[in-house]
Amino acid sequence: MEIYDYIVVGAGSSGCVVASRLSEDPAVRVLLVEAGPDMNTFWVRTPAGGGKLFMDRRFNWAFDTEPVPTLGGRTVYWPRGKGLGGSSSINGMIYMRGQPGDFDHWAALGNPGWSWAEVLPYFVRSETNQRGANDYHGAQGPLHVSDAAITHPTADDFIAAAQQIGIRRSEDLNGPPHEGVAYRQYTIRNGRRHTSYNAFIEPVRHRGNLTVRTGVRVTRVALESGEATGIEVLERGERRMIAATREVILSGGALASPHLLMLSGIGDAAELRRHGIAATVESPGVGRNLQDHWFGSFAWRVTPGSSYNHRLRGLRKYLEGARYLLTRGGYLAIGAAPVTAYARSEPGRPEADLQLTVSPMTFKFDASGEPVVDDFPAIGGSMVLLTPDSRGHMALKSSDPLQAPAFHPNYLSDAGDIRRSIAGLRMMRRIAEAAPLASRIIHELVPGAPATTDEQLLAHLRTNGNSGWHQVGTCRMGVDERAVVDPRLRVHGVGRLRVVDASIMPRIVAGNTNAACIMIGEKGADMIRADAAPPRAVSI
């Protein structure tokens, strides 16, 4: 039997951090296991290649939700990264931490150590920011964070128009005042996507005490006498056990980690028994508290020169490709929508709850899943509700570990979410109608000028809205009976087992989730080292 001190399950945004930091101690043996493959391919490393990975099942779990009653029975596609780097290998590379109040709220719920002041050092430690070090940014961390490779006049005009309607200009959306309009930053290094794997594992993979294994499907956590003792895996068609003498750390993300707990007999006992799984630990919160961001889309036909669609079609797209290969620059070197505004849907809100974005290009997916840039000048936009009160859940469909669970996101089930989302759509239109952006717009394509009433805008949100692909919360951190892990991320009722990933968030952050997941990995690794238990004896 293979034996390690620590086994980390999932080489995604959090898991790569945990494995890297734990293996800094040469006295411990660390195994990092990942179900997917190596992801060192051209379109993964090329920032603009994200669209080509959106439905690529080699690198994407490509989940679908169950029909969502609040969306008229729609199913929603949920891409999730499958391979080294996890979803940091297929995302839009946006580096946005969330608002300070997010973390202060976590702490106020009974989670000491998770306030903004206490997590900020972990954000700083992980980062090398192109702008240099200050009180809010690092310059010596593994993860490279950079400014957009190209600015565009339309993006500049979006910033100016947002200011016209009262949204302040910001120089740094990850620093005070944490609200305003600005260009984003990205996890891009020298024109290439910088994933959690690239940042934290690739430079140290040579360590003799670190083993990284791909193509390994973990089927359950082995439990004995109330403790995690290892994992059962399926590799090349064979099942076998791998032992952990200190801890097993689940970092599979908000969809995989609760699934593994359920398969291991940790969850709602009645639900587990219904699928023939012996309930070892009653933990009714496993898979509950599911949260995600929901966005409403926009598109506008614009004047020539206000969009770069033409640069990514026909002969010009090959010229852009050559430009990227020669210089690591150009339009293939940029991440998702370059500018964003953080604003409040209502005057009484304690912090920004809307994310409003514009991109000077538009595309659609064809029948094969390939992104196709529109053949006319257009710009796209989105309105994201950052602090939804709607809550969903996930549940087993089968005891077969290879069958995906059932996902019930329950989008727009809260009346306040609907009200604030509609306010956000109206705010986005106000920006589009303000100078100087208005001079570029010919007419609104989506949702379209006829959609003016609350009912019509809600219909647009239900019919054309989409997931922000930021699922969190399904192994909630806390001290109450429905919390799954404690504030040190230890699974309630089980020794030597932790969850360290997006699933531990009590409430979703008001921003993109990748940076917060990396912070969770940093803080979780420190907790594991500080709490280090003596290794248990293993019989071979």
Query: What size, in residues, is the chain?
Result: 540
- Which position among 194, 460, 470, 492 bears the catalytic label? 470
pLDDT in tens, 492-502: 999 999 999 99
Nearest-5° Cα angle at 391, 389 to 393 = 170
| CATH code linked to domain 2-530 | 3.50.50.60
Residues in CB range of 274: below 8 A, 6 or more apart? none
Residue 509: the pLDDT is: 98
Cis peptide bond prior to 447, omega within 30° of 0: yes
| E strand or H helix at 339 | strand 339-343
Q: What is the DSSP string of 3-41?
A: EEEEEEE--STTHHHHHHHHTTSTTS-EEEE-SS----S
pLDDT in tens, 78-111: 999 999 999 999 999 999 999 999 999 999 999 9
| E strand or H helix at 455 | helix 454-464
Segments of 162-303 assigned E as strands: 180-183, 185-186, 188-189, 192-193, 210-213, 217-224, 227-235, 238-250, 266-267, 281-282, 294-302
Tokens linked to 539? 């019989």
Q: From the CB of residue 178, how many other CB atoms can be counted at a distance below 10 Å?
A: 22
Q: From the CB of residue 314, how many other CB atoms can be counted at a distance below 10 Å?
A: 11
Annotated binding-site residue? 152: no
Q: What is the rounded CA–CA span in Å between residue 342 and residue 387?
A: 12
Q: Can you list the alpha helix ranges (DSSP code H) found in 307-380?
A: 314-327
Half-sphere CA count of 30, side-chain side, radius 13 A: 32
470 catalytic? Reply is yes
Q: What is the pTM of this model?
A: 0.97
Residue 276: the pLDDT is: 96
Domain layout of the chain by residue ranges: 2-530
Annotated binding-site residue? 105: no
Residue at token pair 């994992």: 231
Positions of the chain with pLDDT under 50? none
Residue 309: the pLDDT is: 92
SS3 track for 84-143: CCHHHHCCCCECCCCCHHHHHHHHHCCCCCCCHHHHHHHHHHHEEECCCCECCECECCCE
The sign of the CA dihedral 202, 205, 210, 216 is positive
Q: From the CB of residue 56, how many other CB atoms can be counted at a distance below 10 Å?
A: 18
Residue 182: the pLDDT is: 97
Residue 540: the pLDDT is: 64
Q: What is the rounded CA–CA span in Å between residue 224 and residue 232?
A: 13
Annotated binding-site residue? 218: yes
Half-sphere CA count of 472, side-chain side, radius 13 A: 29
Specify whether the CB–CB gap between 3 and 538 falls below 8 A.
yes
Query: What CA–CA distances, in Å, run from 2 to 123, 349, 379?
Result: 34, 53, 54
Q: What is the rounded CA–CA span in Å between residue 271 and residue 294?
A: 28
Tokens linked to 270? 């009645």
